[in-house]
Amino acid sequence: MSLGLIVVLLISPFAGFLINGLFGKWLKGKEKLSGWISALAVFVSFACSIIAFTSVRGGGGMSGDEGILYEWIKGESFAFNIGFHVDALTTVMLLVITGVGFIIHVYSIGYMHGDSGYTRYFAYLNLFVFAMLILVLGNNYLMMFVGWEGVGLCSYLLIGFWYEKQSATDAGKKAFIVNRIGDFGFLLGMFTLFAAFGSLDFTTIFDSADAGNFQQIFGASTLVIATLLLFVGAVGKSAQIPLYVWLPDAMEGPTPVSALIHAATMVTAGVYMIARSAVLYELAETGEVVAWIGVLTAFFAATIALAQNDIKRILAYSTVSQLGYMFVGVGVGAYASGIFHLVTHAFFKGLMFLTAGSVMHAMANELDMRKMGGLRAKMPITHWTFLVGAMAIAGVPFLSGFWSKDEILHSAWAISPVIYGIGLITAFLTAFYMFRLIFVTFYGESRVESGVASHLHESPPVMWVPLAILAIPSALIGLLLGWGGHNSWFHHFTEHVFPKAHGEASGNMLVFMGISSVVGLAGIAFAWIRYRERVPAAEPTHALHKLVANKYYIDEVYNAVIVQPIKNGSHYLLWRILDTGIIDGIVNGVAAAIRLIGGTLRRLQTGLVQAYIVSMVVGIVLFLAYYLFVR
Amino acid sequence: MPIEINWQLLMPELVIALTLIIVLIFDMFDSISKTILGWLTIVGAGIALWVSIQMQQAGTVGTQFNDMFKVDSFSLFFNIIFLISTILVALISLSYLGKDDRKQGPYYLLILLATLGMMLMAAGNELIVVFLGLELMSLSLYVLAGYFRDNPVSSEAGMKYLLLGAFASAFFLYGIALIYGGAGTTSIPGIASNLTAESQSPLLLGGMFLLIVGFGFKVAIVPFHQWAPDVYEGAPTTIAAFISAGPKAAGFAAFLRIFMEALPAMQSQWGDVIILLAMLTMTVGNVIAIAQTNIKRMLAYSSIAHAGYVLIGLAAANNEGISSVMLYLLVYCVMNIGAFGAVILAKTTDGECLTISDYAGLGFRKPLLGLFMTLMLLSLAGFPPTAGFVGKFYIFKSAVQAGHTWLVIIGAINTAISAFYYLRVVVTMYMREPEEELEFSPYPSTLVVGLILAVIGVLFIGILPSLLLNSVQNSVL
Amino acid sequence: MLFNFANVLIFLAVGCLFVVLNLTISRLLHTKLFSGEKYIPYECGEDPIGDTRIKFNTRFYVIALIFLIFDVEAVFLFPWAVVSRSMGLLAFLEMLVFIAILLVGLAYVWAKGDLEWIRSTQLEVQAVQREESYDN
């Protein structure tokens, strides 16, 4: 594998961004061209990713010095390189990002048709792919951080894409601010690592950590602190408790964005980061914290999803919940299983978001499923593809989600039966809320308003073809790559990347598979019983329902406990007293002093040549005096 | 007594001299359209640039004319800086001068003469040659500063520059005389070999100090800086860009050569002064820049502050210091000319926007202009991934290595202060509503090309510094 | 060492003598006609006494400057003449180039009308006309 390949892979979406960003005005009337340029750019990356993938399969790869493109800046004791690390994990991520990314780009060409910000949208989308590629390709934490911030920025821009809408800009801001908390943790984690290892390169850090050869800046808990701080970053980016609140609101963005950024790629960056730092998490033994946060998030988000009526919101909470599963996977040391779930999830969740977009497209942006019903007849392709996705996530045997979720649960059993138990309940809930969504939306009587119903139609080919393409891996990828559980092809492919897990999965694989299947099918059956003909009530029926429907009032709690006190504190304490009183006093004092100095100095700048010469001579005399008398 | 002249060593200078004569001849005939002169200048400087780069890559070294003229990677690197500045300035001048034939000829002639002077300064291996180059450069600049002679402000700028410059030249010459008295020669290697750490005659001390004064004036170091704001404000904007870039680099080139090659034995004496001057220059430049409302004056004070940053590298007085100064000067020339170019681009039907409040709302109404201006200002403020960050990083690094940690701290504080006034312009452009609707002239294409080149330079050095860095590190004295 | 300075001394003495001699001869020979103008110190064609803030004609300085260039050229010719024979063709060619460059300069000044004592405004008028023709 050559560096040139990776450079092409990386630069191609950036070139797409530049073309769409700089010549947007020129492309205004030619929106097809703009979209296809952008999709082509990602396709080039995808082709390069396939080459890289075959090369890694053949034993190639890139790590350490050979991946260094060039040195950015260099100091005495440190050097920051622009370098790439390409191994099995990287290529898996590359294929997901560029593959799913390409399909979503194509889908967007149809979905965004006629939007006034068409070229802007594709510019942002290309920029996002570029940043995401930097994130997974970098061979050091600094590059990862650059990508990390880059995807955060693009996410913010795309959530608030329709900036005329107050709720969209609010959601963008919320995502940005909540992510900032996580990024701050990530940054501190990076500082800790740098202080301990004197480098941010993956190879250097992992080798030194293995050998115990580093500065114990926080004593024995150095690595614990570093990994936990990094995990704070992952919690923010991957929407885990307690920082998950931004993701459901992020659905204000265009739906393909939700599919690409807020389901398939960016939100999984945290999982990728932990898998990449697996060596550190093994040594620090902080994986269990990760697993617990993950499983609690999975359960918590699944319960919220039970009582939502907005399609995209259900999918959003489902994403949070599935991300929790991935964290359980990497937390219990089953790194390959966690990443495998990331891959399958990227396909089936991306698919479901796109189908939701297809529904929205037909329903004139209606999202409330109580106003749908019976869509199956009018939109057969959308219905079938959604069904595939839902069956995959629900864990119907032999579909992709079944394999990956089962592996995670199986590994969790070895660490803690409690985690396994909660995970299993979550699996039941997942199957239930997904099929609730299906039955209410696609089956039963049509409740579509007559004005909308008249032009209810299947989406154009540029939109349904991507759906069909995505449905294939959603159904089959588990069978192809995951057959055999822990001895599957996927595990063999990635086995050199991850350290040996501290807990071996035990027990008979088939028993676990059986239990999972039963639980998943039970969830579907339960949904069939309850929602085959019924429509969710307009108002919550009892207290628990109300609690869940209102998302446990977490947003309200955060608002009351964190946002308002900070606002009030800022207003009364910081602004009124500290700022206007003390700081302004000081600042104004300093400013007055500087103004006084400036005024005096300005008087020297009279504009008169004589005065300038005098000040020069005074300077000369002073310096000469210093030489002659002081020294 | 046959004299061997190695013409190849003199190629860049010869190319410029030849271009100059061609421009002169072309300007004589009324039948030739004068707009071609600017292009001639660009082509000539381009060829000289290409030759210099080739020679620099080949590692050409040699002396000429009885050791008075020294070509080495150091002088060639500075040639590259000067020629890049000249090309950029010529590009932004093409549209600025308009179609008035009478203005074109002498303008490009003088720019080329000044460039020749700078090249002589960087290659001078003899104090007298350095002085000759300095005067050739300065005299051309005096005229250029007052080039719009029907404009009283421009005339005033030219006059002031001439009077103060002559005054400073006298100091410089006096310094040379005293050093000659102390060291018995004006040859730079000769002085170095005649001096030891013990030889500290007052003559040498005085001479050395007067040289600092002379250079201090040319590169605008506090307290010898006061000409700068007045001249920058009054001079044509292109010339302000030119004065702030090439000549400053030339001043530092000779400064470096004389102090690092001829006077290293006296480093304990000049080291302290340079540190003091660096602190004073940075602080005064930045603090006064905050109070400016005219963007050209603001850029003038900013360029004073940047001279202070360069002095940090000089104070480090090690190889890293020299290479960081060279890198910084290249970066500074490109971004400063870019910033002035953006000022020229912001042209309304009644003239340039010179008050910072005129820039309100420009970011959205003139996106290209906003982009150029923002990038250049961010680079001047030293934000990654622009060239300004890389330049500052290496300057500070060299000083830390030399043990001047507190000097770096002051430098960093100053950088923070400077961010305030650079970003204020950006904030004005993007977050303020314009008070009145200004009518803007269409963008001249040559100016846009010049600015795009500057932007490419700034981003290229910022993202890929290592390509340049090796070349710089091989070019130290 | 000291003896070498004797040459300098002799030169100095002869130089002084030359001036004194010439002035004396001139004083003996010239006609003695006095007018008011002659009592005023000579200062490059300007009134030496009076307010400094006056308008004055710069033509004189331009001509003087141009003259100076050729003056300096002559100065360069002297050392060249001493070594030109021993240096051969190269020296000859070099001096030709040097003079040619100065001639180009002279031609430039001439073409720009700076050799006219009263500068013709005709050139300016022509330039303006050309400019207008561009605009049309």
User: pLDDT band at residue B88, thresholds of 50, 70 and 90?
Assistant: very high
Please compute the mean of the pLDDT values over residues A546-565 and round it to a whole number.
Answer: 77
A249 contact partners, CB below 8 Å, separation of at least 6: A159, A170, A171, A174, A175
Instruction: Give contacts of B25 with chain C, Cβ < 8 Å.
Output: 104, 108
Q: Which of A209-223, A346-360, C27-41 is least confident?
A: C27-41
Main-chain dihedrals φ then ψ at residue B379, nearest 5 degrees: -65, -40
Chain B nearest C-alpha distance from A217 (Å) = 24
Check residue A604 and give its pLDDT: 65
B207 contact partners, CB below 8 Å, separation of at least 6: B174, B175, B176, B177, B178, B179, B180, B181, B182
Looking at residue B318, the DSSP 8-state letter turns out to be S
Which residue on chain B is closest to C108 by alpha carbon? B28
Look at residue B40 and tell me if it is in a domain: no
- CA dist list (Å): A377 to A459, A464, A524, B460: 13, 16, 21, 57
Check residue A601 and give its pLDDT: 67
Please compute the mean of the pLDDT values over residues C34-48 and round it to a whole number.
Answer: 70
User: pLDDT band at residue B77, thresholds of 50, 70 and 90?
Assistant: very high
How many angstroms separate the CA atoms of A328 and A338, rounded? Answer: 7
Token couple for B402: 């030399």
User: pLDDT band at residue B1, thresholds of 50, 70 and 90?
Assistant: very low
Partners of residue A62 on adjacent β-strands: A86
- For residues A507 and A197, which has the higher predicted lDDT (pLDDT)? A197
Residues C131, C67 within the same domain: yes
What phi-psi label fits residue C48: left (phi over 0), alpha (psi between -120 and 50 degrees) or beta?
alpha
Q: Which of A544-548, B31-35, B450-454 is least confident?
A: A544-548
Chain B nearest C-alpha distance from A373 (Å) = 46
Look at residue B375 and tell me if it is in a domain: yes
Please choose, from the candidates B288, B323, B315, the residue with its C-alpha nearest in 3D space to the C-alpha of residue B302: B288
Domain that holds residue B420: 266-477
- DSSP output for A224-245: HHHHHHHHHHHHHHTT-TTSTT
What CATH number is attached to the domain comprising C71?
Answer: 1.20.58.1610
Check residue C85 and give its pLDDT: 83
- Among A418-432, A497-511, A581-595, B428-442, top mean pLDDT goes to A418-432
Check residue C119 and give its pLDDT: 62
Contact of B21 with chain C, judged by CB distance below 8 Å, is answered with yes
- Among A479-488, A506-515, A567-576, C86-95, top mean pLDDT goes to C86-95
Look at residue B373 and tell me if it is in a domain: yes
How many angstroms separate the CA atoms of B217 and B215, rounded? Answer: 5
Residue A466, preceding peptide bond in cis (omega within 30° of 0):
no
Instruction: Give contacts of C124 with chain B, Cβ < 8 Å.
Output: 102
Contact of B358 with chain C, judged by CB distance below 8 Å, is answered with no
Main-chain dihedrals φ then ψ at residue A218, nearest 5 degrees: -115, 35
- For residues A500 and B235, which has the higher predicted lDDT (pLDDT)? B235
Look at residue C26 and tell me if it is in a domain: yes
Check residue A294 and give its pLDDT: 92
Optimal mutation site among A28, A74, A612, A618, interface B, most CBs of chain B within 10 A: A612
Residues C72, C127 within the same domain: yes
Helix (H, G, I), strand (E, B) or coil at B429: helix
Look at residue C118 and tell me if it is in a domain: yes
Q: Rounded to an integer, what is the distance from CA C58 to the centroid of its chain? A: 15
Look at residue B275 and tell me if it is in a domain: yes
Residues C83, C125 within the same domain: yes
C-beta atoms of B227 and A76 within 8 A: no
How many angstroms separate the CA atoms of A475 and A469, rounded? Answer: 11
| Long-range contacts of residues B142-146, Cβ cutoff 8 Å, at least 24 apart | B143/B106, B143/B110, B144/B107, B144/B110, B144/B111, B144/B114, B144/B235, B144/B236, B144/B239, B144/B242, B144/B243, B145/B231, B145/B234, B145/B235, B145/B239, B145/B243, B146/B235
Average model confidence (pLDDT) across chain B? 89
Look at residue C17 and tell me if it is in a domain: yes
Main-chain dihedrals φ then ψ at residue B440, nearest 5 degrees: -100, 145
Residues C33, C89 within the same domain: no
How many angstroms separate the CA atoms of A393 and A389, rounded? Answer: 6
Check residue A603 and give its pLDDT: 66
Check residue A492 and give its pLDDT: 82
Task: Specify the amino acid at residue B140.
Answer: S
Look at residue C29 and tell me if it is in a domain: yes
Which residue on chain A is closest to B393 by alpha carbon? A73
Chain A nearest C-alpha distance from B202 (Å) = 9
Instruction: Give contacts of C101 with chain B, Cβ < 8 Å.
Output: 21
- For residues A115 and C100, which has the higher predicted lDDT (pLDDT)? C100
C-beta atoms of C104 and B29 within 8 A: no
Look at residue C74 and tell me if it is in a domain: yes
Domain that holds residue C127: 59-135
CB atoms within 10 A of CB A594: 16
- DSSP output for A342-388: HHHHHHHHHHHHHHHHHHHHHTTT--BGGG---HHHH-HHHHHHHHH
C-beta atoms of B99 and C135 within 8 A: yes
Asked if B331 contacts B388 with a C-beta cutoff of 8 angstroms, the reply is yes
Main-chain dihedrals φ then ψ at residue A61, nearest 5 degrees: 145, 180
Check residue A531 and give its pLDDT: 81
Chain B nearest C-alpha distance from C37 (Å) = 33
Look at residue C94 and tell me if it is in a domain: yes
| Touching chains, C (3+ CB pairs < 8 A) | B
C-beta atoms of B273 and A616 within 8 A: no
Instruction: Give contacts of A618 with chain B, Cβ < 8 Å.
Output: 223
Instruction: Give contacts of C111 with chain B, Cβ < 8 Å.
Output: 28-29
C-beta atoms of C87 and B25 within 8 A: no
- Number of domains into which chain B is organized: 1
Q: Which of A22-26, A176-180, A274-278, B265-269 is least confident?
A: A22-26
C-beta atoms of C127 and B1 within 8 A: no
Token couple for B55: 């020679």
C-beta atoms of B1 and C107 within 8 A: no
Contact of B149 with chain C, judged by CB distance below 8 Å, is answered with no
User: pLDDT band at residue B114, thresholds of 50, 70 and 90?
Assistant: very high
Share of chain B above pLDDT 70, in %: 97
- Number of domains into which chain C is organized: 2
Residue B259 has pLDDT above 60, yes or no: yes
Instruction: Give contacts of B30 with chain C, Cβ < 8 Å.
Output: 126, 130
Q: Which of residues 598-627 of A touch B (CB under 8 A)?
A: 598, 601-602, 604-605, 607, 609, 612-613, 615-616, 618-620, 623-624, 626-627
CB atoms within 10 A of CB A8: 16
Residues C68, C27 within the same domain: no
Instruction: Give contacts of B65 with chain C, Cβ < 8 Å.
Output: none
How many angstroms separate the CA atoms of B110 and B98, rounded? Answer: 17
Task: Name the burial class of residue A208, with classes exposed (0-12), middle (13-18) and buried (19+) by CB atoms within 10 angstroms of its CB.
Answer: middle
Check residue A98 and give its pLDDT: 93
How many angstroms separate the CA atoms of A145 and A189, rounded? Answer: 11
Look at residue C49 and tell me if it is in a domain: no
pLDDT digit string, tens, across residues A426-479 = 999 999 999 988 888 888 777 777 777 777 778 888 888 888 888 888 888 888
Look at residue B477 and tell me if it is in a domain: yes
Look at residue B364 and tell me if it is in a domain: yes
ipTM tops the 0.85 cut: no
- DSSP output for C87-113: HTHHHHHHHHHHHHHHHHHHHHHHHTT
CB atoms within 10 A of CB C25: 10
Looking at residue B435, the DSSP 8-state letter turns out to be S
Average model confidence (pLDDT) across chain A? 84
Q: Which of residues 69-88 of A touch B (CB under 8 A)?
A: 70-76
C-beta atoms of A73 and B393 within 8 A: yes
How many angstroms separate the CA atoms of A358 and A382, rounded? Answer: 7
Token couple for A611: 């005065």
Task: Name the burial class of residue B433, with classes exposed (0-12), middle (13-18) and buried (19+) by CB atoms within 10 angstroms of its CB.
Answer: exposed
Helices (H), ranges, B149-226:
152-183, 188-194, 202-218
Please compute the mean of the pLDDT values over residues B155-165 and round it to a whole number.
Answer: 91
Please compute the mean of the pLDDT values over residues A407-430 and round it to a whole number.
Answer: 88
How many angstroms separate the CA atoms of B45 and B48, rounded? Answer: 5
Check residue B91 and give its pLDDT: 92
pTM, full prediction? 0.80
Helix (H, G, I), strand (E, B) or coil at B124: strand
Residue A549 has pLDDT above 80, yes or no: no
Please choose, from the candidates A184, A290, A293, the residue with its C-alpha nearest in 3D space to the C-alpha of residue A242: A293
- CA dist list (Å): B410 to A595, B267, B271, C120: 20, 22, 17, 59
Please compute the mean of the pLDDT values over residues A28-57 and round it to a whole number.
Answer: 88
Residues C20, C83 within the same domain: no
- DSSP output for B57-114: HHT--EEETTTTEEE-HHHHHHHHHHHHHHHHHHHHHHHHTTT-HHHHHHHHHHHHHH
Chain B nearest C-alpha distance from A71 (Å) = 6
Partners of residue A140 on adjacent β-strands: A201
Please compute the mean of the pLDDT values over residues B373-378 and round it to a whole number.
Answer: 93
Choose the closest CB to A624 out of B209, B217, B224. B209
- CA dist list (Å): A615 to A608, B164, B209, B306: 11, 12, 17, 21
Chain B nearest C-alpha distance from A106 (Å) = 29
How many angstroms separate the CA atoms of A617 and C133, rounded? Answer: 53
C-beta atoms of A602 and B287 within 8 A: no
C-beta atoms of A627 and B284 within 8 A: no
C-beta atoms of B290 and A594 within 8 A: yes
Which residue on chain A is closest to B206 by alpha carbon? A624
User: pLDDT band at residue A321, thresholds of 50, 70 and 90?
Assistant: very high
Helix (H, G, I), strand (E, B) or coil at A247: helix
Instruction: Give contacts of B21 with chain C, Cβ < 8 Å.
Output: 101, 104
Q: Judging by DSSP bridges, how do beta strands B62-64 and A68-74 pair with one another? A: unpaired
**Does an interface of 3+ CB pairs under 8 Å exist between A and C?**
no
C-beta atoms of B290 and A72 within 8 A: no
Please choose, from the candidates A323, A333, A517, A349, the residue with its C-alpha nearest in 3D space to the C-alpha of residue A431: A517
Check residue A591 and give its pLDDT: 66
Look at residue C53 and tell me if it is in a domain: no
pLDDT digit string, tens, across residues A178-234 = 888 889 999 999 999 998 888 888 888 888 888 888 888 787 888 899 999 999 999
Check residue B267 and give its pLDDT: 83
C-beta atoms of A612 and B205 within 8 A: no
- For residues A23 and C38, which has the higher predicted lDDT (pLDDT)? A23
C-beta atoms of B223 and A612 within 8 A: no
Q: Which of A323-327, A620-624, B37-41 is least confident?
A: A620-624
Residues C72, C30 within the same domain: no
pLDDT digit string, tens, across residues B104-113 = 888 999 999 9
Asked if B87 contacts B45 with a C-beta cutoff of 8 angstroms, the reply is yes
Residues C22, C76 within the same domain: no
Look at residue B20 and tell me if it is in a domain: no
Choose the closest CB to C104 out of B1, B24, B29. B24
pLDDT digit string, tens, across residues B207-218 = 888 999 999 999
Give the CA angle between residues A300, A304, A306 to the nearest 5°.
120
Residues C111, C69 within the same domain: yes
C-beta atoms of B163 and A609 within 8 A: yes
Optimal mutation site among C83, C131, C133, interface B, most CBs of chain B within 10 A: C131
Choose the closest CB to C111 out of B28, B99, B101. B28
